[in-house]
A and B are shown apart, each in its own frame.
Chain A
Amino acid sequence: MVIREKKKLTPHGIILIVISVLFVLLMLVFPLVSVITNSLKKGFDFYIKSLSTEYVLSALRVTIIATVIAVVVNTFFGLMAGWLITKFNFKGKQILATLIDIPFSVSPVIAGLAYIMMFGRLGWASPIIDSINEMFGTDIQIVFAIPGVVLATIFVTFPFISREIIPVLNTQGKDEEEAAALMGAKGFTIFRRVTFPHIKWATIYGVILCTARALGEFGAVNALSKTRGETFTLPLEIDALYLAGSADSITAAFSVSSILVIIAVIVLILRNRFEHRELKQKEQV
């Protein structure tokens, strides 16, 4: 850490601060507030009523299922990938790290399309699914069904947790694990006792971000989910309400949005908290 005196506030410093604060208020905070005011436009009763329709409740259920599965899968993946990339040297490590980051730069709509091209009627994997269904007498559907929604959610949030863990593990190095291994500790014990304490906050941090992103995923899910009240997630329900176009349904769209806004604000507060914890932890080390 470079220890540095903070600059005294100069006149142009104050101008910069004022411009920054105005930018953030106008561009970022105002939209957030606007959702809430719009949602309460028709009174509190209307607000509650528009949240308790069957469509919204079903969408809430689908959203929670997809989010929970995505977080579990991506946490598992993140820990494994973090361990692999930071504890070992092997050929193609840089390429692997780049491949993991693909979902950051691929349009979510393309993610949805990819699953349609794989599991859809024309997809090469659809005969495989069909034969599985025949063999076990099941009726598994991927595209335009809940599994597709879950897969799309996993796709878009795939790198979120590994990306939080990898930098922390990189700065920690691998000496402690090597020492533990040489002293005869087993793999899982090393992970639990030596590695995990270092990345505890980074993991929680990643889980929070992953949850937020999973709850709000729209593009990929939009391509893969077409039945309102069955496979729609909250963002899709918002889309349907908004596009219905009547003043009532637009207000209802904002009411549903307000739930996601409240979650977004909670996530922001938690993130801020954990960032502090992490800094403190670093200072202690």
Chain B
Amino acid sequence: MKKKKARQRRVIPGFSLSMGVTITLLSLIILIPLASILVYSLKLKPAEFIKVITDEAVLWSFATSILCALIAAIINCIFGTMLAWVLVRYDFPGKQILDGLIEIPFTLPTAVAGITLSKMYSTTGEIGKPLSKLGIEVSYTHLGLIVALIFVGIPFVVRAIQPVLQKFDVQYEEAAQMLGASPIRTFMKVIFPELRPAMLTGFGLAFARGIGEYGSVIYISGNNAKEHTQVVSYIIMQKLNYLDYGSATAIALVMLIISFLLLLFVNIVQVKQSRRTNNV
């Protein structure tokens, strides 16, 4: 009886069907497999777990992944905001093409990006050669890792900021300018506060992607334990190849927790942002 009542309230049909399909597929493809990692890692004794996680190479890989992703995400925030600004605010020939090119990293397979960047920035490569004459080595260093992460992260930031900037009303800016504010002051005081949630979303997405990135970084990073250029994903893959499933799941669990926290952060920012724009 109760069920019938609920159905009457919903005019549009298909609730149970779409709910059933969504939950089933989501569970089968995403949730149950991920839960398997949790279940397996819970079988480890706490002492074992801590031993795996506090292993020097593992700790260094976390430091490398997090720091490089953080630096890349910050750089992407700066260039991403600039690109979004240029694409929304100015008209110039080839703008449409520039807009399309932003998505190269979304469509180019990560492994292809990885080998190309690694070759380009090596000491014999097109960009690496002139840089090495200046004493800057990119491939097989942290710098290379950051370059690869900038590559994969940039569209996240641009695409997060663009729609917000498009809706942004210029009259506040004009008012600020008329009141005598310099362009930089106008940007910092009027535009930046409005863009902040979008920038944070883009930052969060680029950062999350960067921490877990595998294909595009493993060639250019060199994966050297002594130089601390191994990333977490590489360590997990290495443990898998040695059939050391215990360590692999323990490290993966920590990564999963970090990703969930970032996802939560992005979602909270987005909910706040939509409340804000709906109020206006």
Chain A residues proximal to chain B, CB less than 8 Å: 2, 4, 6-7, 9, 12-13, 16-17, 19-21, 23-24, 26-32, 34-35, 38, 73, 76-77, 80-81, 83-84, 87-88, 90, 94, 96, 98-118, 120, 122-125, 151, 154-155, 158, 174, 177-178, 181-182, 186-187, 190-191, 209, 212-213, 215-219, 222-223, 234-236, 238-239, 242, 250, 253-254, 257, 260-261, 263-264, 267-269, 271-272
Chain A, residue nearest B232 (CB): A107
In the bound complex, CA of A24 to CA of B80 (Å): 11
In the bound complex, CA of A84 to CA of B120 (Å): 47
Q: Is the CB of B245 within 8 A of A158?
A: no
- Interface assignment of B104: CB less than 8 Å from any CB of chain A: yes
Interface of A is mostly: helix
Instruction: Kindly identify which residue among A76, A110, A174, A239 contacts B236, using a CB–CB cutoff of 8 Å.
Output: A110
Chain B, residue nearest A265 (CB): B107
Stretch with Cβ within 8 A of A (4 or more), from B48-56, B86-94, B137-145, B188-196? B86-94
Chain B residues proximal to chain A, CB less than 8 Å: 10-15, 17-19, 21-22, 25-26, 29-34, 36-37, 39-40, 79, 82-83, 85-87, 89-92, 94, 96, 98-113, 115-117, 119-120, 126-127, 150-151, 154, 166-170, 183, 205, 208-209, 211-215, 219, 232-233, 236-237, 240, 245, 248-249, 252, 255-256, 259-260, 262-264, 266-267, 271
Chain B, residue nearest A176 (CB): B12
Q: A177-B12, A216-B112 are in contact. List 9 more A-B contacts (CB 8 A).
A: A2-B169, A32-B116, A34-B120, A98-B263, A113-B37, A117-B40, A177-B11, A261-B108, A264-B104
In the bound complex, CA of A263 to CA of B104 (Å): 11
Q: Is the CB of B110 within 8 A of A216?
A: yes
Q: Is the CB of B263 within 8 A of A264?
A: no
Can you give 24 A-B contacts (C-beta < 8 A)?
A4-B170, A30-B127, A38-B119, A73-B25, A83-B18, A84-B18, A100-B30, A102-B30, A105-B205, A105-B208, A107-B214, A107-B255, A107-B259, A110-B252, A113-B248, A114-B34, A116-B240, A178-B12, A187-B12, A212-B107, A219-B215, A223-B237, A257-B112, A264-B108
